[in-house]
A and B are shown apart, each in its own frame.
Chain A
Amino acid sequence: MDTQWPRWEVFKQDRPDKPYEAVGTVHAPDAEVALLNARDVFVRRPECHSLWVTPEAAVVRLTAEELAAQPAWLDESPGNAAADEIYHLFCRNNFRRSMVAVTYVGQVVAASPADAMRQAVQRQHADDTVLWWVVADSALTRSNDDDIASMFEPALEKTYRDQSTYRGRIFEGRRRGGTVKEVPGS
């Protein structure tokens, strides 16, 4: 029997003027715990302004290969159903190694996940787009502005958690021809 908790996708916004990025997943029994786990796993280091989490199953994904196999995505009509739900769109534009799976590109109002995806590929269809995600707004659980002070701001002081802090020290020590004795943050 699989006793693992369900997986949740984590979207992190570093600053108010930056897009949300899919930074990875956490396991959690429910949305509230997922949000806390997202904070503990992905915001140990600066910086973060806002977090979204959503059940992994709530994310609809399409790759460039799948789109090539079914080009009808690009010309399907919206159908008759009333478009009444907000969906968030995310894309990936390269195959470079990255901690980020997809980046936020905007939102649409759609009648269904398929309708949202159709709008996504029509709206964001550059030659280099390799992956699209859509997520219904109602499937997201978000941190709010009141959470910033207790959830995210304390991490800004903890530069010793950032490995680049150590890398800098080590190089500095090597340049001096000595070993590193001072531990940052101690």
Chain B
Amino acid sequence: MNDALHTALTNRLLASADDELILAHRNAEWTGHAPILEEDIALANIAQDELGHGTIWYGLVEALTGDDPDRLAFFRDASQFCSAQLVEQPRGDWAFTMLRQYLFDAYELTLLARLAGSAYQPAADAAVRMRNEEIYHYRHSSVWVRRLALGTEESHRRMQRALNELWPLTGQLFSAQPGDEILMAAGYWPDFDEMKQSWMSVVMPFLEQGELVVSDLVDGPVDRSEHSGHLNGLLADMQMVARADREAVW
């Protein structure tokens, strides 16, 4: 693998790892606070699964660069993270959390389905491993988005408000990074334009069935180096214990 390909692959793997870690943390914030016990357990499960996916992605980064996954998670600052703003947003209400999860699950399923055929075998193996779990996540989040969107006047209003806030942030998931063309040429990573079309063909009819209206996609962040102001606070919270004793062994 030449240097350019190595760098591009590392950046993509890190972006996926960071998305999973940050989303897992946001979902874990619901533990003990979800609207009903069964959902508290379900979302904690999902958070744990996403954290597991993050661990897999960081492990692939480590295989390429030698970087310790714990160091990557707990000792980088916001400017060094590659997460998308969609996953950085505070958890909001239950409608916001469920819709964010739905939009991300649909994205992750789209990605994993294609990565399963990647010419980079470790990524293909990882995708196959994660995909079954993600099918269940998608089922769970779509069940809730559908019920809340078509539920009461209040639940519909909250779901529409969540969509208005989240929709402009979805473009960043599919935006090109430097080096993506090298990855695609090598057959290592799928084409983001095609992925976005496929994602839209799943998400749009689903949202329409819920009588939710999608705003025009404008003014969202594009580059993954553009973070929301919320990432700093999340990292301060998440990294506090690890940074309190940098040499501790867990």
Asked if A92 is an interface residue, CB under 8 A from chain B, the answer is no
Q: Which residues of B contact A44 (CB under 8 A)?
A: 41, 45
In whole angstroms, what is the CA distance A63 to B98 when docked?
Answer: 43
Q: With A29-B147, A183-B250 known to touch, is A151 a contact of B136 (CB < 8 Å)?
A: yes
- What distance in Å separates the Cβ of A165 from its nearest Cβ neighbour in chain B? 15
A95: Cβ under 8 A from any B Cβ: no
CB–CB B139/A27 < 8 A: no
Contact count A vs B, C-beta below 8 Å:
44
Measured between beta carbons, the chain B residues less than 8 angstroms from A183 are: 250
Range, interface on chain A: 20 to 34
Q: Mark A7-47, 1 if CB is under 8 A from B, else 0.
A: 00000000000000000001111001100110111001000
Question: In the assembled complex, which residues on chain A have CB atoms less than 8 Å from the CB atom of B41?
Answer: 40-41, 44
Flag if A40 contacts B139 (CB, 8 Å): no
Contacts of A153 in B (CB 8 A): 132
A181 contacts the other chain (Cβ, under 8 Å)? yes
* 13 contacts across the A-B interface (CB closer than 8 A): A33-B143, A36-B140, A36-B143, A37-B38, A37-B39, A37-B42, A39-B136, A40-B42, A40-B45, A149-B132, A154-B132, A158-B52, A181-B249
Interface residues of A in 92-107 (CB under 8 A from B): none
Q: Mark contacts of B136-157 with chain A using CB atoms, 8 A cut-off: 1 yes-contact digit, 0 otherwise.
A: 1001100100010000000000
User: What is the size category of the interface that chain B forms with chain A?
Assistant: 10 to 19
**Contact residues in B for A5 (Cβ distance below 8 Å):** 36
Main secondary structure of the interface of B (DSSP, over half): helix
Residues of the A chain whose Cβ atoms lie less than 8 Å from the Cβ of B39? 37
Docked CA distance A132–B174 (Å): 56
B49 touches A154 (CB 8 A): yes
State the A residues within 8 Å of B (CB). Answer: 5, 26-29, 32-33, 36-37, 39-41, 44, 149-151, 153-154, 158, 181, 183, 186
Contact across chains for B132 and A28 when beta carbons are under 8 A apart: no
Residues of chain A within 8 A (CB-CB) of B49 are 154
A40-B45, A44-B45, A150-B139 as given contacts; A28 in contact with B250, CB under 8 Å: no
- Residues of the A chain whose Cβ atoms lie less than 8 Å from the Cβ of B52: 158
Chain A residues contacting B244 (CB-CB under 8 Å) are none
Chain A interface SS verdict (over half): helix
Residues of B contacting A181 with CB < 8 Å? 249
Contact check, B45 vs A27: say whether CB atoms are below 8 A apart: no
Nearest chain A CB to B55 CB, angstrom units: 9
Give the residues in chain B near A26, CB-CB below 8 Å.
38
Taking A40-B42, A44-B41, A150-B136 as known contacts, 19 extra A-B pairs with beta carbons closer than 8 A to each other, sorted by chain A number, are: A26-B38, A27-B36, A27-B38, A29-B147, A32-B143, A36-B139, A36-B140, A37-B38, A37-B42, A40-B38, A40-B41, A40-B45, A41-B38, A41-B41, A150-B132, A150-B133, A151-B136, A158-B52, A186-B250
Taking a contact as CB atoms under 8 Å apart, the answer to whether A150 and B135 are in contact is yes
